[in-house]
Amino acid sequence: MIEDFAPVALAPLEPSPPPHAGGEPANDYQPPGEPTRPATLPVLESVIASSLAGRAIRPRQWLVDDWIPARNVTLLSGDGGTGKSLLALQLAAAVARGKRWLRLPTAHGRALYLSAEDELDEVHRRLDGMISDALTELDDLTIVPLAGRDAVMAVGGKDALKPTPMFEAFRNKVEAEAPTVVILDNLADIFAGNEIERAHARQFVSMLRGAALDFDCAVVVLAHPSLSGLAAGTGSSGSTAWANSVRSRLYFSRTKPLDGERDDADARTLTRNKSNYSAVGEEIALRYNAGAFVPSEPELGRRPKSAARRAERCFLTCLRRFDASGRSVSADKCATFAPNQFAPLPEAKGLSRGDLAAAMERLFARGAIQVETTGPASRRRSRIVERSFSE
């Protein structure tokens, strides 16, 4: 029932003490007329490397093995309407119940879901749709409905990003709940800095990483990709500092059919576009069914002949990325030979030039790509282009 998910108020902030609280001047208090004192320098903790010898190495911790690291920030991006909020809510429910997420094992613990996009009624409907017979098992899932409220946690200042009282309230809530995972939906609602400013992007991720480390939890932030990120199939947005600062970046997209396949409006693909601790490029094929996204095929959603399929999908993703940035690749073995250009890209990790060359030939054979020739007869140039489905 809806009463089971009554809004939980964020803890109020403690008022800031006056400069002379406790009878002693605060460190940053400067009496009028006195010479300016230098700012107190931070103390840098250090460790002598040799002291690590013989010390037990802590194993790396995961919320979801190879996909979402613990004590780190993961960015989950997807276009509006793809269902990333539902996918993230499935993750929160799986962690709270100690169940698998998309057939992947999860760490069992409390989950904190901050929803600044959807009101509580919508979250309730989604939970009922995915696990209507198990809502009573969600004692460890706390929902913070922030739709319609000012949920901004940081604003852009003249020199640096500035946290807001909402960020302090957020930290208070995380400390009180002690969750294993925190999900923030959506970046656009909680970040009011300059998205394309590298310093702002990095500072905000650092703020969230601080919470992840201080309170021993994974933080998953939902975000919308930019038009160029959509065109390139990477799901990126704003400054590259967003992708570079997080330890894991996932992209949730509608599955684009290859030539000869029928379009499936319920098909989705979850791609691991970046991971500092596992291989990139891994995909899980999903399909919306009975209120939730589920793997559409055996073996964690991998399609039959998944290696060949992944190589083809990777080739098309890289081709779109090059096209979006105005670069051309060739089918001929020259300086711009497509497999040689694509192989060093993160999306192609685990694929050889031979894999990409074979994928290119299959795509040519099916008519999914073609060679486009431009320029006068004296300076003809050719490049590989993706064929549109209307052709």
Long-range contacts of 158-164 (CB under 8 A, 24+ apart): 160/199, 160/203, 161/193, 161/199, 161/200, 161/203, 161/204, 161/207, 163/207
Chain mean pLDDT for the chain: 85
Looking at the structure, do residues 290 and 276 belong to the same domain, yes or no? yes
Look at residue 55 and tell me if it is in a domain. Answer: no
Looking at the structure, do residues 133 and 254 belong to the same domain, yes or no? yes
Whether pTM exceeds 0.75: no
Look at 15-29, 189-203, 239-253, 319-333 and tell me which has the smallest mean pLDDT. 15-29
Full domain range(s) for residue 372 = 306-386
Looking at the structure, do residues 218 and 347 belong to the same domain, yes or no? no
Looking at the structure, do residues 192 and 328 belong to the same domain, yes or no? no
CATH number of domain containing 153: 3.40.50.300
Looking at the structure, do residues 280 and 336 belong to the same domain, yes or no? no
- On whether the CB atoms of residues 354 and 340 are closer than 8 A, the answer is no
Most confident of 14-23, 229-238, 279-288, 302-311: 279-288
- On whether the CB atoms of residues 113 and 123 are closer than 8 A, the answer is yes
Domain boundary among 301, 336, 360: 301
Looking at the structure, do residues 66 and 211 belong to the same domain, yes or no? yes
The pLDDT value recorded for residue 9 is 52
CATH number of domain containing 331: 1.10.10
Most confident of 27-31, 96-100, 373-377: 96-100
- On whether the CB atoms of residues 309 and 303 are closer than 8 A, the answer is yes
Look at 62-66, 169-173, 234-238, 260-264 and tell me which has the smallest mean pLDDT. 234-238
Strand 248-254 and strand 218-223: pairing? Answer: unpaired
Look at residue 175 and tell me if it is in a domain. Answer: yes
Look at residue 177 and tell me if it is in a domain. Answer: yes
Look at residue 344 and tell me if it is in a domain. Answer: yes
Domain boundary among 282, 301, 320: 301
Look at residue 5 and tell me if it is in a domain. Answer: no
The pLDDT value recorded for residue 2 is 38
In the numeric block, which tokens belong to residue 213?
């480390």
Domain boundary among 252, 279, 301: 301
pLDDT of 186 > 90? The answer is yes
Look at residue 117 and tell me if it is in a domain. Answer: yes
Helix (H, G, I), strand (E, B) or coil at 17: coil
Most confident of 154-158, 235-239, 254-258, 261-265: 154-158
Look at residue 41 and tell me if it is in a domain. Answer: no
What is the share, in percent, of the chain residues with pLDDT greater than 90?
55
In tens, the pLDDT along 251-306 reads 999 988 765 567 889 999 999 988 888 887 788 989 999 999 999 865 544 444 46
Looking at the structure, do residues 165 and 277 belong to the same domain, yes or no? yes
Look at residue 53 and tell me if it is in a domain. Answer: no
Distance of CA 197 to the CA centre of its chain: 18
Q: Residue 163 pairs with which residues in a beta bridge?
A: 154
Looking at the structure, do residues 205 and 353 belong to the same domain, yes or no? no
In the numeric block, which tokens belong to residue 362?
């299959």
Looking at the structure, do residues 297 and 311 belong to the same domain, yes or no? no
**Element spanning 84, H or E:** helix 84-97
Look at 3-17, 53-67, 148-162 and tell me which has the smallest mean pLDDT. 3-17
CA distance 267 to 390: 21
In tens, the pLDDT along 350-389 reads 788 888 988 898 888 878 899 988 877 777 788 999 876 4
Looking at the structure, do residues 176 and 230 belong to the same domain, yes or no? yes
- Starting at the earlier edge strand, list the strands of the sheet with 218-223: 141-145, 111-115, 181-185, 218-223, 73-78, 248-254, 267-275, 283-289, 292-295
The total number of structural domains that make up the chain? 2
